[in-house]
Structure 1
Amino acid sequence: MSETFFNRMSTETGIELNGAQKQAVLHTEGPLLLLASPGSGKTTTLNMKIAYLLFEKKVAPERIMAVTFSKASARDMSRRFDDYFSGWSSVKVPFSTIHSFAYKVVREFMRKENIPYQLIEGGGQKGRMPGGLPLQKTFILKKVYEDVNGTQATEEEMEDLMSYISLVKNRMLEGRELERVPCQAKAASEVFQAYESFKQSEAEVTLLDFDDMLTFCHEILRENPDVLSVYQQQFDYVLTDESQDNSIVQHEIVEMLAAPSNNLCLVADDDQSIFGWRGAEVDKLLRFQETYPEATVLTMTENYRSSEEIVHVANRFIKRNIDRYEKEMTTPNGSMQDVEIHAFQNDEKQLDYVVQQIQEKSKEETAVLYRNHASVIPLVDQLDRAGIDFYMKDSEAKFFRHWIVEDVLNFLRFSYNDSRIDILERIHTKFNAYISKKQMDLLKGRNTKRSLFDQLLQLDVQEYQKKSIPKVKQTFHDINNMRPDEAIVTIREKLGYDRVLRKMVDKFGFRADQLFGTLDVLIRIAESCDSLKDFAFRLKELEEIVKNAHVRESSLTLTTFHSAKGLEFDAVYMIDLVDGIIPSNDDIEDYRDGEREAMEEAARLFYVGMTRARVRLELLTYHYLGKERVKESTFLHNVRTIAGSTKKTNHREVASRVDTSALEGMDPGTKVVHQAFGRGTVMEYKEGLIVIHFEEAGYKELLLETCVERGLLSKEKQEA
């Protein structure tokens, strides 16, 4: 009977399933974890599985709960189902997100219990508090932050606070756990608790934000068995796509709904779990068989997307991770071209190369992938000047509203007119004139158009100010006549802006790489501008370009690694592959402290980037970011070891100095035995070192040459 179904599907839809896909379709009873590697046809398989339930097992469509992580994924699932079956069946399956289902539960419960509520996020908010405060999440959170800290939150603090709140809710953290979650916003745990209290007590109705849909749904189902029973009896089968993106609260909602029959199918790839920063919980997948001892775990590992070379490198690379399901990704595709690694002198030459390649290969469907939004701004500048159209998956213009960008522009404005008290008030603590608040108050009372530096010297100033103020005045005067890039360097070095930023990093916990990276980006843009006025105009121009880039149609896509998941391209350039960006400095620091979680997620992010490419994959790094010497990404060392590629590069190869044939097969993730340190796991190779985490001795960086020459390392023998 099953072959009749598959033959019918082949005839009607043209879809031929492989053995693993057929096995997944036919497994309908009991819990199933379907691990689907990149390009393995998971969406097609899931749709065929639903079709099997509908047309072969005669399950009514309303008895099937099919959910995925995002609205876009739900729309894609629905569209593909219609493409396959609309010609011969009018059956519709209601694909939805977990959020939309959770909101339905909350809405129906609130209505039944006569509990008035109002959404404060997601559009359509209305109403105000008696004092005039809009009933909208951002306004409420800003007020609560100010009440707790006695100062206004910056845009970056608000953004980090939003992420913090979403994370702690999705992971259902409370009490002391709240304080252990890092957040740049001051007193984040106190602000969060005050915000939750405000929503419950300050308004006439219960206020709900986006994440409350999940936490309230979870609470309703857990504490009201009768309500839970209604939904359990509504669905015979529960299927979830992209399950590696689900948070703890989402996983638990799905688990409750699938009980007691547990006809549950999770389609996921633990190797593509990259959203831990917003609450995704890969451990739930890794413990699936603990939750369901009777569960079946199937793998679909045949990648129909990528070339043999790309699949080979990606498959071996991801094995550096320890916390994962063991699987072997393969491909029926043939050999095409080697994975290329390019190392440039600096980031500027890297982008010059990318632009040149895009111009020469304009007919390819191409993507440039990057980790940080700031990384792409200089590329946008160059592409626009070269007349190359592009589409941006993440049309994110927040770079141009960053407080550092505003600081630099205010320094430049003040150099043009040093009598503007409104500008000096914003920057007086950020350069080395040491102007006090009392002095600023006195200046504001003078209301004159003379130089504020001259006016300062007429006040009661300190002896050191009598020396510093004339120097600072002259520096601002000089800045007004400089080229923009030279002006920014002067602001950083001569006016002491870099020193101020370092103090802010130490005091407030800001990420130094992000702050100084923003300044480096501004210098890159400034280098192609002739005057300060041109520079300010170019920033505005670039902001508009980025804002509108998501509505363009182009064969060239610019996107972050995170947003690239689910996409595929003929050619992929992964840029800025240096330690400090991917992996980040925080990832590296945690890893050296013996905490693997962040580093393993960064490795999964790198893996996602590589597996977007069909034919051509180029990995780009450099030795200098601005004037700062940087190290190429440790992940790139892993790939080089795997690929053995030396083409078109100017990097130093470990293989050129050491005969590593004795280490053949010791990829990251391999269990090894060291004569002195015992059993351990290979973590990475880098610049003549092999990094191993030993069970007893901990984290060790060993000289590769010594290990090879003395035969200190061997692969651990596997028991038969």
Structure 2
Amino acid sequence: MDVTAIIDPLNDAQRLAVTADSGAMLVLAGAGSGKTRVLVHRMAWQIVAGRHAPHSLLAVTFTNKAAREMRSRIETLLDMSAHSLWIGTFHGLAHRLLRRHTTEARLPDSFQVMDSADQLRVIKRILVSLGYDEAKWPAKQIQWHINAQKDEGIRARHTADVGDVYQRTMLQIYLAYEQLCDRSGLVDFAELLLRAHELLRDNPGVLAHYRQRFQHVHVDEFQDTNSIQYAWLRLLTQDANNLFVVGDDDQSIYGWRGAKIENIYRFQKDNPGHQVIKLEQNYRSTGNILAAANKIIANNSGRMGKELWTESGTGEPILLYVAFNEQDEAYFVVERIRAWVNDGGMRSDVAILYRSNAQSRQFEERLMQAGMPYRVYGGLRFFDRAEIKTALAYLRLMANRHDDASFERVINTPTRGIGAKSLDDIRNLARGQTTSLWSAAILLLQSGQLSARAANALNGFLLLIKKLGDDTADSTLHEKVKTVIESSGLKDFYKKDKDKAEEKVENLEELVNAARHFETANLPDDEDNFTELDRFLSHAALESGDMQAEEFEDCVQLMTLHSAKGLEFKLVFLVGLEEGLFPSQQSVDDIARLEEERRLCYVGITRAMRQLYITYSESRQLYGRESYPRPSRFLREIPADTIQEVRQRAQVQRPVAHINVAAKPAVLTEGHSFKAGEKVKHEKFGIGTILQTEGEGAKERVQIKFPEGPKWLMLAFAKLEKV
């Protein structure tokens, strides 16, 4: 292949980046501007033009999928094997280095890499050996602390004892963890990076070898690098001026997990002779979508600055829907997806993007009711999440003491000092007596075989379950759920969890909302022997098992905005744009966090290729609370001529003035005799507002918000009058 075949498909800016002379270079690549194409063509051009041999090129990215794609595209472009190129993730390449230099890295030849679960088990063993109570010193919190220290290049020996009890304890555990890993030849993921950095730093001969070998180093998603990754790259390239990085300061959204947006600015300071090339032509989205993204991100300070543009035309306006509540929001989104599919669109070209995982429940429920397959991308469906399954297990055990699976799940969550031996004794007795674990636990207590400490712990658990049942006997369903979450200690337990603690607590609070909604939506049936709790637990089990699509099935994609980075969809619904939700409540008083939220909004908008819907709700039940939020500040930052409001046919007062959008409503027509937003009068419940409608003809029913709360009514029997 000749050089022209490599550079001819490129635009001017891409060609400039690909063919630039060797030297430090920052390619500032906007969303959808072809950054992977530039990296691949850059390496291919260097090989074909005779600038560098394949074995002298190194390319680093963040995911195995991205590394495989990069290698595949180079092989296709050059029609040759890319085996001699070093292409991989930071962790993968660090592992490769350590395997080659175990002696210099002070590792045994047979060292083993631990995954996150293995690492957690090791930390729990250390807590036991040091005599620490895991209830007071959660293993996940310690895991987070150790990994964060390593990401900053900090060993236990580098940390001074400042007299603080917390820091002193963490230091002691970190030191014991390091010693155990060294003795056992164990390496965790964070250790791979730190140890690889130390290998190069402390062995001049090894460093010189790789500096000489890698004549050009390429880095993808540079804005996502952390401190130790940047230090590793600096060691390899410090004197050679041969670092080629592609990144986008406007898409730096992982500060919460250690990514340093500052590394883009450090790169410029550390490489005085560097070049900066901006890729601003977008090949993904329409002009209206890009205009909105450009205008929003311009409100962030300290940007390097770029303006995305496209040759594909203005496209459809962004459509804004103001929902009455979260159920109306989900109903609207699913109906628009249904229309898309009916017009010949693929479900897999549709994404619903949200800020918080807890928001997925309403959309999952509505998609299930519509018989529409979906997949929760990069996460679990609501009722499959561990914290939700644990809370439901408490409820199941309250409803049925002989539910062994639920007994096993909750007996030591939160940790309450019931050890593995006591559990084995219960299991053995249950098998021997052919009885349930609950009954076996009672028999074991009566036998007097347990130590006083174990007996107290087990008895406390049994009394807790009984008390939860007694205390909630006359409670409504959502009150039962709320009491279990709080009185069982689950809420406090997950608050201490450093691994997505806030998200897990929010999910638990959303379970209360699910129960409250079930109270109003669950129509009476003929099965009087089933309690409302029984029906809710059955509902949760059925929702957990169905409608999650197979890997290659045509299905709607649900995901958080963080999970959406790097993806694109023809039709995107960006939902829940409300103050306190997006941007999050934690960010509104913190400039740095607010700017990261705005970058997250920019990422969400630029996932859309052809059509973007944005929604917010006038009222929302979320995290166990009802609120009446203001529209997100990000809506006010969208140019008025790019957005159009979608309204129901009934004229309902909406806070349009707050968001300064063009008043050109697109009317939706729906075949129901009542419309959302209409006022109606009921003989018993008084005057209320229609929230949503379902079904047709004799089966049509409506949800109405009355002064005493929302209710579902069958129109055939309700005798409603329009007000």
TM over 0.5: yes
Equivalent of residue 406 in structure 1, options 369, 381, 390: 390
- Matched residue, 2:655: 652
Alpha-carbon distance in 2 for matches of 1:145, 1:348: 45
Paired residue secondary structure (2:378)? coil
Q: Could you say which residue in structure 2 is the equivalent of 1:166?
A: 147
Q: Aligned runs of 1:301-312 on 2, under 5 Å? A: 301-312=280-291
Find 2:206's aligned residue among 211, 222, 227. Answer: 227
Determine the C-alpha separation between the residues in 2 that align with 1:172 and 1:654.
50
2:134 to 128, 134, 152: 152
Over 3 Å counting, the alpha-carbon distance change for 1:537 and 1:250 in structure 2 is same
| 8 Å CA contact 2:156, 2:174 repeated in 1 | no
- 1:417–1:655 distance in 2 versus 1, CA, 3 Å: closer
Asked if 1:21 corresponds to 2:19, the answer is: no
**Does the CA contact (< 8 Å) of 2:481 and 2:511 recur in 1?**
no
Report if aligned partners of 2:60, 2:88 keep a CA contact under 8 Å in 1. Answer: yes
Name the SS of the counterpart of 2:26 in structure 1.
strand
Pairing 1:236-635 to 2, within 5 Å after superposition: 236-362=215-341, 363-364=345-346, 365-396=349-380, 400-403=384-387, 405-411=389-395, 413-415=397-399, 476-478=472-474, 486-492=476-482, 497=486, 511=502, 513-524=506-517, 531-545=532-546, 549=549, 551-589=551-589, 591=590, 596-626=591-621, 628-632=626-630, 634-635=632-633
Secondary structure of the structure 2 residue equivalent to 1:136 = helix
Task: State the distance in 2 between where 1:310 and 1:40 align.
Answer: 14
Q: Residues 176 and 647 from structure 1, CA distance in 2 versus in 1: closer, same or farther, beyond 3 angstroms?
A: farther
TM-score, structure 2 as length reference: 0.72
Counterpart pick for 1:51 among 40, 44, 55: 44
Classify 1:380/1:54 alpha carbon distance in 2 versus 1 (closer, same or farther; 3 Å). same
Q: Secondary structure at the match of 2:645?
A: coil
Taking a change above 3 Å as real, the CA distance of residues 165 and 384 of structure 1, as seen in their structure-2 partners, is: farther
**Partner SS, residue 572 of structure 1:** strand
Q: 1:137 aligns with which of 119, 122, 143?
A: 119
Deviations 1:489-511 (A, max 9, x none): 34537x89489888889999964
One-letter identity of the residue aligned with 2:632: T
Q: Distance in 2 between matches of 1:522 and 1:22?
A: 57
The one-character-per-residue Cα deviations of 1:67-97 (angstroms, maximum 9, x if unpaired) are: 11111110111122233332xx455544211
Contact 1:369 1:564 in 2 (8 A): yes
**What is the distance in 2 between the residues matched to 1:207 and 1:62?**
30
Deviation of 1:24 after TM superposition, in Å, equals: 0.3
Secondary structure of 1:262's counterpart equals coil
Return the letter of the residue paired with 1:97.
Answer: T
Residue pair 2:156, 2:175 contacting (<8 A) in 1 also: no
Cα-to-partner distance string for 1:684-720 (whole Å, 9 max, x where unaligned) = xxxxxxxxxxxxxxxxxxxxxxxxxxxxxxxxxxxxx
Give the letter aligned to residue 533 of structure 1.
Answer: D
Q: Is the 8 A contact 2:388 2:507 kept in 1?
A: no
Q: 1:8 aligns with which of 5, 10, 13?
A: 5
The match for 1:455 is none
Is the Cα–Cα contact under 8 Å of residues 120 and 136 in structure 1 kept in the other structure? no
- Letter of the 1:615 partner, please give it: R
Task: String of CA shifts for 1:132-183, please: whole Å, max 9, x gaps.
Answer: xxx93121122334566843369x965555444433322335789999xxxx
Task: Give 2:71's match in structure 1, choosing from 62, 65, 78.
Answer: 78
Q: CA deviation at 1:515?
A: 4.2
- Structure 1 gap ranges (5+): 124-134, 180-185, 431-440, 448-458, 460-464, 480-485, 660-720
Distance 2:654 2:334 in 1: 21
Match of 1:718 in 2: none
Deviation at 1:653, TM superposition (A): 3.1
Displacement of 1:190: 3.7
The separation in 2 between residues aligned to 1:324 and 1:73, in whole angstroms, is: 26
| Identity within the alignment, % | 26
In 2: Cα distance, 1:343 partner to 1:268 partner: 35
Q: In structure 2, do the counterparts of structure 1 residues 514 and 105 end up closer, same or farther at CA, with 3 Å as the change threshold?
A: same
Change in CA separation of 1:473 and 1:271 when aligned onto 2, cut-off 3 Å? closer
CA change 1:20–1:559 in 2 (3 A) is same
| Residue 559 (structure 1) shift | 1.9
Which deviates the most, 625-634 or 339-348? 625-634
Amino acid at match of 1:636: F
Aligned pairs, how many? Answer: 592
SS of equivalent residue, structure 1 residue 152: coil
The Cα offsets for residues 299-351 of structure 1, whole Å up to 9 and x where unpaired, read as 00111110000000001111121132111111112011111222212111111
Deviation at 1:264, TM superposition (A): 1.1
| Residues 318 and 642 in structure 2, CA contact (< 8 A), matched pair in contact too | no
C-alpha distance in 1, partners of 2:190/2:50?
A: 36
Partner in structure 1 of residue 178 of structure 2: 199
CA distance in 2, matches of 1:115, 1:426: 37
Distance 1:412 1:338 in 2: 48
CA 1:559–1:304: 2 relative to 1, 3 Å:
same
CA contact (8 A) 2:391 2:490 kept: no
Alignment partner of 1:35 out of 23, 28, 33? 28
Residue 217 of structure 1, CA deviation: 0.8
Amino acid at match of 2:614: L
Residue from 77, 87, 95 that aligns with 2:87: 95
RMSD of aligned alpha carbons = 4.2
Q: Partner residue of 2:187?
A: 208
SS in 2 for 1:281: coil
Q: Distance in 2 between matches of 1:47 and 1:390?
A: 33
Q: Is the 8 A contact 1:214 1:250 kept in 2?
A: yes
Aligned to 1:682: none
